[in-house]
Amino acid sequence: MMQITFKDGNVKSFDEGMSPEEIAGAIAPGLKKKAVAAYVNDELYDLNRPIYQDAKLDIITKDNQEALEVLNHSTAHLMAQAVKRLYPDAKFGVGPAIKDGFYYDIATEHTITDDDLPKIENMMRRIVKEQESMMREEISQAEALARFKDDPYKRELIEELPEGEIISIYTQGEFVDLCRGGHIGNTRHIKHFKLLSVAGAYWRGDSDREMLQRIYGTAWFNKEALEHHLKVLEDRKERDHRKLGKELKIFMLDKRAGQGLPIWLPNGYTIRRTLEDYVYNLERKNGYLHLSTPVLGTKELYQISGHFDHYQDDMFPLMKDKDETFVLRPMSCPHHMIVYNSELRSYRDLPLRYAEIVTQHRYEASGALSGLERVRAMTLTDSHIFARKDQIKTEVLNAYRLILQVIKDLDLTIDYIELALRDKTKGKFHDDDKLWDEAEATLKQLLDEENIDYHEVKGEAAFYGPKIDIQVRTAMDHVITMSTVQLDFLLPERFDLTYIGKDGEKHRPVVIHRGLISTWERLMSILLEQYKGAFPTWLAPTQMRLIAVNQEAHGDFTQNLHEQFIDLGFRSSIDLREEKLGYKIREAQTQKIPYQLVIGDNEVKNNTLTYRRYGQKEQTTVSVQAFIDMINNEIKHKTKHAE
């Protein structure tokens, strides 16, 4: 007998060799039914893996987050088995659980297409019916190598495991896989799944190695959860900024204009200008000085900064004149360094906060381009703060607080904050250890002092210094870097920046790079998806659409109202077409205009108007002045409305 200690502290005796599944069944049939895997002495165990000694047992049920991972991981194995039956030459890479799903990387002569997915699903269902038990076995490295002698990818993984490490393999029917576990015990537990897509993926994420075929899928514990997830995926398609951007005439792409070179249409540009004005004023209030620099620079400028060495391949082809070579600028810091150096600076001048709405060009890989999310021409609000070392903390915090303000005003959600550090083993960073250590320590200390939660990530720093990245989760469930504060001791050296200190001597300032809203292009894609195209009044390209019930009787009043709104700075539009009322109303709704105003006898008589908010059925009649006050208030407070 062995003593099993449960989560609640209870201890019970069971026969040695019983599995978590059997123990769960012995406690309560309901628990056995809900059980997915278990932690035995904090080690993840399969449901059917025998326990041989006294242990602490924690049954993972379907309600746990880990349970979904176990299920998806097991579904990946199930899929691999099905693929192997259909395409016997298949060799396997890795097949992990990921958020809301799983994938498996496969090498086979057969090209897997979307049409194959139902076939694979059918085979998977067959294996589920076969009720294959998923059995764990622990073997030596030598034995593992022998077992997987025909599987080059698995062999590579085995060879890299540390000497003496116990290797576990899982067998279900005829299928054997190298795997750490835990698993769900038997294929019969896998019922609700769907294969979603096929894609290519480099073996081990290395673009110098061969490409495998990757199948993505998703698995859930019940039909409702699966259907719900598929619905979420459908909803994302409806939100897609490329679809909404076309429907609402926000932007366009045309291959004659150039791949990845978007055109902002009047509606989109109106939103962008509103955002630009907002940021410009916010920066002005926070002591930033705005300037403007050219989109072209000399190659030499970027050689001094070091960008040319690092990013040459991602820059547009060089333009060569007789004596000079120009680059289409991929970023703006070097120009700002030159501005700093154009005068003799005193310690009293610092901090100096330069900001610019910068258009820059990057020759992104063709396969990376996507709508407004990833483009080759982009505009952003960039800033470089020149400061003394004793000002770093205040300036970084000021920048951070400004970022928080903007993120709040735009209804964005911070997912986490990342402190991106250097990884010495990677060559892409400058190699002055002293500068790195100091910069990294400064940021770390600052975050700790302010009690800001953050994840450290090695190897994600800029080549010139560490950075604090503000990671935002979008409506599409993507995590993107929205804002960044970077501490740079390198460029001041490269450009020989100095200021005269109190002591009359020359000192080196530091540069803080601050990115606020990624780029206007990417922000636009995120906002479109977030608001599903229904922008709050302060951003909406058209804020109100005026419709007269009868042109003859109410046309003049409506026209006057429209002119009054335009005078007030509202983005008003009037529909004068000889069309039925219902037709005009439908159009105002499909264009997602926040306010739709209908003017008839009552309104003309009482100097009122009747509005309907986008997406609502309710009609409200108010005085013209009350409406104006309401709109002004919404714009001022950036009021958002429920969808």
Site for RNA, residues 214 to 243, rule: CB under 7 A: 214, 216, 237, 240, 242
Using the rule CB under 7 A, which residue among 188, 310, 444, 494 binds RNA? 310
Is residue 322 part of the contact set for RNA (CB under 7 A)? no
Asked if 309 is part of the footprint of RNA (rule: CB under 7 A), the reply reads no
User: CA-to-CA distance for 561 and 619, rounded, in angstroms?
Assistant: 18
By CB under 7 A, name the one of 285, 348, 580, 636 that touches RNA.
580
CA dihedral 344, 346, 352, 356 (to 10 degrees): -10
Query: Which one of residues 56, 110, 119, 246 is an interface residue with RNA (CB under 7 A)?
Result: 246
User: Considering the rule CB under 7 A, would residue 583 count as an interface residue with RNA?
Assistant: yes
Please select the residue that binds RNA; options are 339, 438, 463, 630, rule is CB under 7 A.
Answer: 463
Determine, following the binding rule CB under 7 A, whether residue 427 of this chain makes contact with RNA. Answer: no
Q: Which of 197, 222, 413, 606 binds RNA (CB under 7 A)?
A: 197
Under a CB-based contact definition with an 8 Å cutoff, are residues 413 and 473 in contact? yes
Applying CB under 7 A, among 5, 286, 379, 589 the residue interacting with RNA is 589
Find tokens 């005026």 and name the residue.
546
Q: In the structure encoding, which two tokens stand for residue 90, read together? A: 């298949």
Q: Does 505 bind RNA (CB under 7 A)?
A: no
Whether 641 contacts 411, CB under 8 Å: no
Judged by CB under 7 A, does residue 12 bind RNA?
Answer: no
CA-based R_g, the chain, Å: 31
**Nearest CB to RNA, comparing residues 43 and 477:** 477
- Read off the tokens for 291: 């300037």
CB of 123 to RNA, least distance (A): 19
Told to check if 451 binds RNA by CB under 7 A, we report no
319 binds RNA (CB under 7 A): no
3-state secondary structure 523-547: HHHHHHHHHCCCCCCCCCCCCEEEE
Which 76-135 positions form the footprint of RNA (CB under 7 A)?
111, 113-114
Candidates 460, 389, 454; CA nearest to 423 is 460
Q: Does 399 bind RNA (CB under 7 A)?
A: no
Read off the tokens for 595.
Answer: 């306010």
Angle at 540 between CA 585 and CA 577, to 5 degrees: 30
Site map 153..192 versus RNA, x via CB under 7 A: ----------------------------------------
> Cis (ω within 30 of 0) for the bond into 334?
no
Angle at CA of residue 126, ends 121 and 132, nearest 5°:
115
Residue placing its CB nearer to RNA in the complex, 143 or 423: 423
Written as six digits, the tokens of 145 are: 């190598």
Among 174, 314, 437, 477, binds RNA (CB under 7 A): 314
Q: Which of 550, 560, 606, 625 binds RNA (CB under 7 A)?
A: 550
Helix locations, 413-461, DSSP H: 433-449
Q: How would you classify the pairing of strands 11-14 and 2-6?
A: antiparallel
Q: Which is nearer to RNA, 479 or 568 (CB)?
A: 479
Write out the binding residues for RNA, residues 484-503 only, by CB under 7 A: 484, 486
Stretch 331-350 residues interacting with RNA (CB under 7 A): 331, 333
Under the binding rule (CB under 7 A), the answer on residue 593 touching RNA is no
Question: Of the candidates 100, 364, 409, 423, which one interacts with RNA according to CB under 7 A?
Answer: 364
Nearest CA to 107 among 123, 87, 127? Answer: 87
Q: Which residues between 604 and 623 bind RNA (CB under 7 A)? A: 610, 612, 615, 617, 619, 621
Stretch that binds RNA, among 13-21, 63-71, 162-170, 574-582 (CB under 7 A): 574-582
CA–CA dist 108, 459 (Å, integer): 34
CA angle 120, 80, 153 (to 5 degrees): 140
Phi and psi at 48, nearest 5°, equal: -105, 15
Selected binder of RNA within 207, 292, 425, 451 (CB under 7 A): 207
- Would you say 188 or 310 has its CB closer to RNA? 310
Candidates 564, 586, 607, 623; binder of RNA (CB under 7 A) is 586
- Binding-site member from 1, 42, 109, 255 for RNA (CB under 7 A): 255
User: 162, 164, 367, 427: which one contacts RNA (CB under 7 A)?
Assistant: 367
**Which one of residues 201, 225, 304, 576 is an interface residue with RNA (CB under 7 A)?**
201
Which residue of 131, 259, 325, 606 would you call a contact of RNA, by CB under 7 A?
A: 259
Instruction: Figure out which of the listed residues 109, 206, 431, 503 binds RNA, where binding follows CB under 7 A.
Output: 206
Omega before residue 182 within 30° of 0, cis: yes
d(CA 49, CA 19): 5
Residue type, 309: D
45 or 557, CB closer to RNA? 557
Q: How many residues bind RNA (CB under 7 A)?
A: 75
* Min separation Cβ 596 and RNA, Å: 6
Angle formed at CA 472 by CA 467 and CA 477, multiple of 5 degrees: 135
In the sheet that 11-14 helps form, which strands lie side by side, from edge to edge? Answer: 11-14, 2-6, 55-61, 35-40, 43-45
Strand residues in 433-532 grouped as ranges (E): 455-458, 467-473, 479-488, 499-500, 506-507, 510-515
